[in-house]
Amino acid sequence: MEYPAKNQQNNLIIDKSVLRKYNQYLQLEKSLSSNTLEAYQNDLKHLQEFLLEKQLYYNAVTIENLQEFCGMLIDMGISSRSLARILSGLRSFYRFLLLEGIMEQDPTELLEGPQISRHIPDVLTVEEIDQMIDCVDLSKQEGQRNRAMLEVLYSCGLRVSELCQLKISNLYLKEGFIRVEGKGNKERLVPISERAIKELDYWFADRVHIPIKTGNEDYVFISFRKGTPLTRIMVFYIVKEQAERAGIHKSISPHTFRHSFATHLLEGGANLRAIQCMLGHESIATTEIYTHIDTSRIRQEILNHHPRNINKKETNRQKR
């Protein structure tokens, strides 16, 4: 087998026609979102750079080559979580090659991924969420939009991408639910609170005065300046700004509202299966992180109220 010179283009390592078919497979058969599709394409770029360096074709790769590839990524400072995601993309690619009959064996089959410690995210209390929403400056033209946006983000447990793509035609406010398009274009019905409905009604009264760009009329949350749907970055900045205004010093992002929503449901007695449906998790294992959050809170409550600890605190006060 002849190998390409290092100065040749990357597409000689992985055929353009193969890449085109793989992208079609991800879009049509796997129904991946544009963000996930882009991530998988970037994973292959890492692989292509390695293949060029080692003068290997994609269909001649062995598990030993891939183990060396993982070592290279670790040396570059790639985190365990990022490495696991890259390996997930590679497994998808080589499974596709196996399905297409391009390869007879999957070199990723026995490839072990890194151990990832489960991170328990920061969670806001109901009072902190109320503080953030209540301190929105309604004297600003975007005030009511931001207030409604934060309330819907929390009340419905939406991903930020789902919030940005939310459409008026998918709101069934009289019936008390909304239709959400989640990952992989999968739709789910989510109940919406009366408070969120009220905030949306106020927002729609302001929204009629915005010059909306053609083709964007159906989106719920619109930029006043551009007349287009709010971007994820813009929502991130709004959440950060409101956290600062409310004097909350936790690590907060739009996803914090989703975590808080799920945690509060669990604390209120909802079962994991119901929370899984509300959040649109494909696997119950993803939802189970909230049992860890709940357990850690229970542990802290026990420590705070345990009679031995209370006696210890009283002794320390007396010593002072």
CA-closest candidate to residue 252, choices 261, 242, 262, 265 = 242
Identified catalytic residue from 183, 188, 226, 297: 183
Comparing 10-99 with 126-302, is the CATH topology the same? no
Rounded Cα gap, residues 204 and 207, in angstroms: 5
* CATH superfamily of this structure's domain 126-302: Intergrase catalytic core (1.10.443.10)
CB burial string 38-52: b at 16+ within 10 A, e below: eebeebbebbbebbb
- The question of whether 290 is a catalytic residue gets the answer yes
- The question of whether 258 is a catalytic residue gets the answer yes
- The question of whether 273 is a catalytic residue gets the answer no
* CATH superfamily of this structure's domain 10-99: Tyrosine recombinase, N-terminal domain (1.10.150.130)
Identified catalytic residue from 91, 147, 258, 259: 258
How many CB atoms are closer than 10 A to CB 66?
Answer: 20
Q: Where are the domains of the chain?
A: 10-99, 126-302
CA angle 115-116-118, nearest 5°? 140
Identified catalytic residue from 21, 179, 232, 255: 255
Per-residue pLDDT of the chain (320 residues; tens, 9 = 90+): 333 343 333 334 567 888 888 888 888 777 777 778 888 888 888 888 888 878 888 888 888 888 888 887 776 667 777 788 888 888 888 889 888 888 888 888 888 776 655 555 678 999 999 999 999 999 999 999 999 999 999 999 898 889 999 999 999 999 999 999 887 778 888 899 999 999 999 999 999 999 999 999 999 999 998 999 998 889 999 999 999 999 998 888 888 898 888 888 877 777 777 777 777 776 666 666 665 555 555 455 545 655 655 555 555 555 55
Identified catalytic residue from 91, 145, 147, 281: 281
Contact 11, 25 (CB under 8 A): no
* Alpha-helical runs (H) found in 100-192: 126-134, 143-155, 160-164
Identified catalytic residue from 40, 58, 94, 290: 290
> Cβ neighbours of residue 284 under 8 Å, at least 6 residues apart?
272, 273, 276
CA angle 18-19-24, nearest 5°? 100
CA-closest candidate to residue 49, choices 91, 107, 9 = 9
- The question of whether 145 is a catalytic residue gets the answer no
Identified catalytic residue from 145, 147, 159, 207: 159
Rounded Cα gap, residues 61 and 18, in angstroms: 16
